[in-house]
Structure 1
Amino acid sequence: MGVFYETIPDSLRPWMLEQKMLWVGTAPLSGSGHINISPKGGQQFGIIDERTFWYMDLTGSGVETHAHLHEPGNGRICVMFMAFVGPPKIVRLWGDGRPIENGTPEFDAFVEEHKVKIIPGSRSIIMVDIHQCATSCGYSVPYYEFKGHRTILDDHFAKKDAKYREGNEAESMDRYWAWKSQLSIDGLPGMKRGYDFAQKNKVAPLKKMIGPYAPSSPRTASRIEPIHLLLVLFLGIVIGGAMALSVVTPERLQALQRKGQLL
């Protein structure tokens, strides 16, 4: 059955590092926003210490994880592994996530220090500060035979990068990130590098939702309306006045009445 830990136990590390894929789950703060679950293929991830996990985020058409982790007051993330061969097992990591975007000094330093292999499609390193780790049975997870990793994504961005280096500016990763990694499906800012490039170069974001659920403005957490602030202020005045009167003694009240200061 399930066992919970505050850190990643040493007994789980070898198994985790052998896995061929993982899943990450995030969500915006708004109740009307959309939860996101993303599969991550490949073994481009690692464990720095018992409380720190990372994985390489590759470029795609979505940018939900970035948007949720960048959202002020958010940062919640869950990472999940599951066994498809051998004894059944599911491992989850809960924590606070932070994207370290490609092109920043912190990204370059991390790649150098940890000898991380990057490709043209490498978008960010996602750092996870873990506050809970758990195992569960995984008894209903089916068996699957691993045959190999797909290279389609790597090949696509390698060709795109080659065209850019030959002088085709339209093939730049910055322009691609500005188009597809600018906003989440809820209209929240996604990759900072892509968002900044889009604002400077007037690149319109990819339209990601249709119909009544397509956002007309960013879906953010509910804010306090002005009318609520006025009600709080009014109640404060009433309560303050009542408290002030409650401390006036009968003698003081009679003295004020005699002086005509209180009708």
Structure 2
Amino acid sequence: MGVFYETIPETLIDWIRAQNVFWVATAPLSGSGHVNVSPKGGKYFGVLDERTFWYLDLSGSGNETISHLIEPGNGRITIQMNEFKRAAPKIVRLWGHGLVLPRESKDFNHFVESQDLHDMLRELPGHRSVIIVDIHQVGSSCGFSVPYMDHAGFRTTLNDVYAKKDKKFREGNKDESMERYWSYKNSWSIDKLPGLPNVVAYGKRNKIEPITKMVGPRAPQTHPYTKLDSNIMIFMMIVWSFLAGVLITLHFETLLGLITDFVPPAMIDLLTQAIPQTKA
């Protein structure tokens, strides 16, 4: 039977910290966008308090989570964990809003210092950001259908790949920089939402063409913030401004009567001094 809480119960905090894998779910605001679910393995996460969960975001070919979290008006995120041992079955979900702390940013460095993560980061040269989850709801449900599974160990492949990449970069191969990798792989989500601003800017500055992430007729054809789209938006603003000016000119007295009760007299005087010039 499901139980809900406004914060993480003290009885669940140690259980959460003991997990070896969890899932992160996010989605764009658009109804035509794609929901993303990412598995996270390794002891690169923690619980700061009853309302705050965090994890170290490692580099990869995708950046859906980051794009969704930084999308204006979005930030929604769900963390899910499961009990796989032969203990009481359990599924725990943490609902909240996520904050992205980009690598080497002031907030990132402050967090690393406060949590003493320096040794961890030295072992993980491919780290990309820290994700902070501000939790507003916690759910615990039965998990009766979740299978038993034993933990055989953590894969080291991803960390090994970035360790080799970091070594080549330090030896002088600038093409192996993480910035170049991020610009190629992480500039856009599969729905063409932008990645971190510094990543997009680096790619543009160095003329790095981002990887194509979706194929077929349903794949987005253009970035949402292309020059063409900007020109269209500017044109629409000009048209609307012109129409608003015409409306005010033709119906000034009527509009003035409607707002007299809500606008201070000084403002009314300013309007009557400015608008008649156009009205005439």
Question: What is residue 139 of structure 2 aligned with on the other side?
Answer: 134
Higher helix share: 2
* RMSD (CA atoms): 2.2
Deviation string for 1:77-103 (max 9, x for gaps)? 000000110211000000010110102
Larger Rg: 1
- 1:83, 1:219 → 2: CA distance? 40
Q: Does 1:209 align with 2:214?
A: yes
2:174 pairs, out of 157, 166, 169, with 169
* Residue 12 (structure 1) aligns with: 12
Runs of 4+ in structure 1 over 6 Å off:
224-230
1:43 equivalent in structure 2: 43
CA distance in 2, matches of 1:17, 1:176: 31
Task: Tell me the amino acid that sits aligned with residue 110 of structure 2.
Answer: A
Indicate whether 1:25 and 2:25 are aligned: yes
Q: In the comparison of the two structures, how many residue pairs are matched? A: 234
Would you say the 8 A contact 1:33–1:219 is kept in 2?
A: no
1:62 and 1:144 mapped to 2: Cα distance? 27
Match of 1:260 in 2: none
1:98 has 2:99 as partner = yes
> Which of 184, 188, 193 is residue 188 of structure 1 equivalent to?
193
Q: Which runs of 5+ in 1 are unaligned?
A: 245-263
TM-score, normalisation: structure 2: 0.78
Provide the rounded CA distance (Å) in 1 between the counterparts of 2:63 and 2:159: 18
1:219: Cα distance to partner? 5.9
| TM-score, structure 1 normalization | 0.83
Partner deviation per Cα, 1:200-241 (whole Å, 9 max, x = no partner): 111111100001122112469xxx9989998xx99xx8xx79
Partner amino acid, structure 2, of 1:140: S
Partner of 1:52: 52
Mapped contact 1:32–1:219 kept (Cα < 8 A): no
Residue 94 (structure 2) pairs with residue 89 (structure 1): no
For the residue of structure 1 that corresponds to 2:217, the secondary structure is: helix
Q: Partners of 2:240 and 2:95 in 1: how far apart?
A: 35
The residue that corresponds to 1:160 in the other structure is 165
Structure 2, gaps ≥5 residues long: 226-232, 259-280
Q: 3-state DSSP class of the match of 1:110? A: helix
8 A contact 1:92–1:135 mirrored in 2: yes
